[in-house]
Chains A and B, each alone.
Chain A
């Protein structure tokens, strides 16, 4: 049973890391603020979700698992808000650097 759970962890965390990598490549390679945000928000939210999912079998107790889910939800909330604010600032300044 634990081998199966470990496998779940390895697969999910690896997939999460892949999405983080993709988001970071997008952040570095895309030409302007809005497309960078586009790459970053989607890929990183999914990546973090997969990492949190992968760590759930290793959490040991229900309490720790719930904490992991809380961390994920809070980062989603903060990330969504900050990307909105960055996009608003980019639109207000009208720059695309």
Chain B
């Protein structure tokens, strides 16, 4: 069994090499590609740490969607890259910063090595109360029941971030459409992919949500797949980003948080606590929240990648 620790060391080494590359690479595009590779490798680490749900999230959001955002930004910023190259810190400054970073890393390492043994854990409580919801996946239990407040507030964070992005629109484009991608050859491979992949991807996204009751998966991961399908269609030019001022779109964006809030307030009326689910109905209620959430989260994620409106509302 010595091969498994050796593999761990190997994966950790490759992760560190790619992380170093991300920091020291000369041009931004290479650094961004390094970051995407880093995220994918990190997903392997998460599997080794017994967290397949986190591995899916890291691969889908941490690497995939963040990567799409960063690649787009790097391409647009390429023109301004040369003007900042003269601003590098001097040798002394670099050494000081390196010393600071080393101290921080060493402090984290010392904290790691002095963690109490046996480690404190809430896993027994999570296992003992799993019966209350009828869900088999402990992560989904924590996200949707035990710590549902975090998940609800996170929905708000997503919507608020989108409001922040939209508020950066130039005056003329207020309430209009985000930048379009229209560059694809209508007979090309991307258009073919955008016609073939989305039906499969939509099924896969809903499947990832559905199995999250008992297996690794979840609403975020499923929503990310749905968002990616929409983005493929947009990039191929088969559809256009909707005007952000449209009523229907805005309703869809608040549907998830609002359903969550209504369920929470309903719990306050019926069960006596905010977000307490009615006994025996916990699983259907959680599924209802998750299905409202997946649409909202998918739309929010895709619009965050699409960016602020840059074309005016009336064409």
Q: Check if A80 sits within 8 Å of B189, measured CB to CB.
A: yes
Which residues of A come within 8 Å of B, CB atoms?
74, 77-78, 80-81, 84-85, 88
Determine how close the nearest CB of chain A comes to the CB of B215; give it in whole angstroms.
12
Q: Determine whether B185 belongs to the interface, using a CB cutoff of 8 Å to chain A.
A: yes
Contact code string B223-250 (vs A, CB < 8 Å = 1, else 0):
0000000000000000000000000000
A85 touches B189 (CB 8 A): yes
Interface residue ranges of B234-292 to A (CB < 8 Å): none
Q: Supply 16 A–B pairs (Cβ within 8 Å), ascending by A.
A: A77-B193, A77-B196, A77-B197, A78-B193, A78-B197, A80-B189, A81-B189, A81-B190, A81-B192, A84-B188, A84-B189, A84-B190, A85-B189, A85-B190, A88-B185, A88-B188
Contact A81 B193 (CB under 8 A): yes
Complex: chain A residue closest to B201, CB-CB: A74
Residue positions of B touching A, CB distance < 8 A: 185, 188-190, 192-193, 196-197, 200
Task: Give the complex CA separation of A81 and B197 in angstroms.
Answer: 11
CB distance from B190 to the nearest CB of A (A): 6
Residues of B within 8 A of A80 (CB): 189
Q: Which residue of A lies closest to B191 (CB)?
A: A81
Smallest CB–CB gap between A95 and chain B, Å?
13
Residues of chain B lying within 8 A (CB to CB) of residue A78? 193, 197
Contacts of B189 in A (CB 8 A): 80-81, 84-85
Determine the chain A residues whose CB is within 8 A of the CB of B200 once the complex forms.
74
A85 to B189, CA, bound (A): 7
CA distance A80 to B189 in the complex (A): 8
The CA-CA distance from A82 to B49 in the complex, in Å, is 31
List, in ascending order, chain B residues with CB within 8 A of A74's CB.
200
| Complex alpha-carbon distance, A40 and B221, angstroms | 29
- Report the bound CA distance from A81 to B189 in whole Å: 5
Task: Known pairs A81-B193, A88-B185; list 5 more (Cβ under 8 Å).
Answer: A77-B196, A78-B193, A80-B189, A84-B188, A85-B189
Interface centre among B185, B189, B196 (most CB of A within 10 A): B189
In the assembled complex, which residues on chain A have CB atoms less than 8 Å from the CB atom of B192? 81
B200 to chain A minimum Cβ distance, whole angstroms, is: 7
A71→B185 CA distance, assembly (Å): 27
What is the distance, in angstroms, from A63's C-beta to the closest C-beta of chain B?
Answer: 12
Query: Considering only CB atoms, which chain B residue lies closest to A74 in the complex?
Result: B200
Name which residue of chain B comes closest to A73, CB basis.
B200
